[in-house]
Amino acid sequence: MPIRQLPDVLVNQIAAGEVVERPASVVKELVENALDAGATRLDIDLEEGGIRLIRIRDDGGGIASGELPLAVSRHATSKIATLDDLEQVATLGFRGEALPSIASVSRFALISRTADAAHGARLEVDGGRVGEVVPHPHPAGTTVEVRDLFYNVPARRRFLRAERTELGHIEEWLRSLALARPSVELRLNHNGRLLRHYRPLREGADPLARVAEALGEDFTRQCLRVDHAAAGLRLHGWVGLPTASRSSADQQYFYVNGRAVRDRVVAHAVKQAYADVLFHGRHPAFVLFLELDPRRVDVNVHPAKHEVRFRDGRLVHDFVFRTLHEALADTRAGAVATAEA
Ligand code: ADP
Ligand code: MG
């Protein structure tokens, strides 16, 4: 075969392979976009575990009607403009890939209105074929609808699991987000029923309230508050007492600059910090936020951004280890400690 340039739709479908694994990945990308747009309230409606429908409405800044076609074009983003921006990126998105990828493997609609626009507008994309922008009523903010995910990619569709399983992935991802954004109100409806409602945490309220909503009081009754800063690094959050250890690593939430990540350097540091207070085979529960200058961490490692690369991994490792080791000192001495509110 001769070498040829692939058509845009196919390029987007190939990219979708990396970004869109299942309904939960769509929810993640759309919710992150809403947060990047400054939303304080999100309504998520699902049908059939998100396979039939994912609809997310936000009260963020919206998209100007003239920019709707750009929003669904590949490599088009309002979040970075230069390499320097990329190196200190503070938004959750920046690759300009999510909407075109999702829209290439679903029946997709984007409806939006900016606060200063008189009318809203709607743009549909069907399996990557982009329609016309038409006027459409909408409050300030954005709604994205994704129907029949992978309807045109049977090989992918076959990998989707039962409704319950896909819903479980969405709920778990939303839990991890709810922990990181306590001031954002989140509603999750499934097949017309309200499943979860995370109420917004008011200024000055106890941040542990959201943790209790997300993880239950079994966790909040048996955790220690951590907050330590050194060498331009800050680690804060809550770590479970050894008595709250679990048989699986299912309550481990780690965020770097507000982004949930899996990181081996950090996982190792946490494991070491707990080494002498946990029995073999037990796993700690924790919700930890690491903050550092965005220039000291590369978030552009994977399209879905589940991983990061620290410029100084050893420093981060030792900081996390020391902070937690110190926090757990009293439990090591056998003293009883409880979380301070
Ligand atoms: P990225 O988030 O990497 O910029 P996306 O494909 O996810 O790329 O989105 C493309 C662009 O569409 C964003 O940069 C943003 O300008 C706009 N956009 C997407 N979703 C929303 C939203 N919910 N509210 C406002 N703008 C949005
Ligand atoms: Mg995005």
**Whole-angstrom distance, CA of residue 300 vs CA of residue 308:** 7
* Closest ligand to residue 34's CA: 1
Residue 238 pLDDT exceeds 70: yes
CB neighbour list of residue 30: distance below 8 Å, 6 or more residues apart = 54, 56, 98, 102, 144, 146
Identify the burial level of 334 via C-beta atoms within 10 angstroms of its C-beta, where 0-12 means exposed, 13-18 middle and 19 or more buried: exposed
Q: Ligand 1 pocket test: which of 43, 97, 99, 101 has the largest number of ligand atoms within 8 Å of its C-beta?
A: 99
> Count of CB atoms within 10 A of residue 125's CB?
23
CATH code, 8-198: 3.30.565.10
- The number of the ligand 1 atom at minimal distance from the alpha carbon of 77 is 14
Question: Which residue has a Cα nearest atom 7 of ligand 1?
Answer: 98
Give residue 336's pLDDT: 47
State residue 330's pLDDT score. Answer: 82
How many of the other CB atoms lie within 10 Å of CB of 67?
17
Looking at residue 230, its pLDDT comes to 97
Model confidence pLDDT, tens digit, residues 250-307: 999 999 999 999 999 999 999 999 999 999 899 999 999 999 999 999 998 888 888 9
Q: How far is CA 44 from CA 51, 60, 143, 179, 240, in A?
A: 13, 14, 10, 17, 30
Q: Tell whether the model's pLDDT for residue 339 goes beyond 50.
A: no
| pLDDT value of residue 139 | 97
Q: What is the pLDDT of residue 224?
A: 96
Which residue puts its alpha carbon closest to atom 10 of ligand 1?
71
19 alpha-carbon distance from chain centroid: 13
Give me the residue label for tokens 């008595």: 243
What mean pLDDT is predicted for residues 3-32? 95
Name all residues whose Cβ lies below 6 A of ligand 1.
29, 33-34, 37, 58, 60-63, 71, 77-79, 93-99, 142
What is the architecture of the domain spanning 208-332?
2-Layer Sandwich (3.30)
The number of CA neighbours under 13 Å toward the Cβ of 119 is 9
Confidence grade of residue 204 (pLDDT, cut at 50, 70, 90) = confident
Cα(193) to centroid(ligand 1), Å: 28
Nearest CA owner, ligand 1 atom 25? 62
In this predicted structure, what is the pLDDT of residue 304? 82
Beta bridge partners of 236: 227, 289
Which DSSP helix (H) or strand (E) runs through 30?
helix 23-36
Which amino acid is located at 52 in the chain?
Answer: R
Return the biggest CA–CA distance within the chain. 72
Residue range 223-240: mean pLDDT, rounded: 97
Tell me the pTM.
Answer: 0.94
Distance 48 CA to ligand 1 centre (A): 25
| Cβ–Cβ under 8 Å, residues 56 and 34 | yes
pLDDT tens for 83-104 read: 999 999 999 999 999 999 999 9
Atom 21 of ligand 1, residue of closest alpha carbon = 33
pLDDT over 70 at 334, yes or no: no
Q: How far is the CA of 185 from the centre of ligand 1 (A)?
A: 20
Give the separation between CA 178 and CA 249, rounded to whole angstroms: 19
> What are the domain boundaries of the chain?
8-198, 208-332
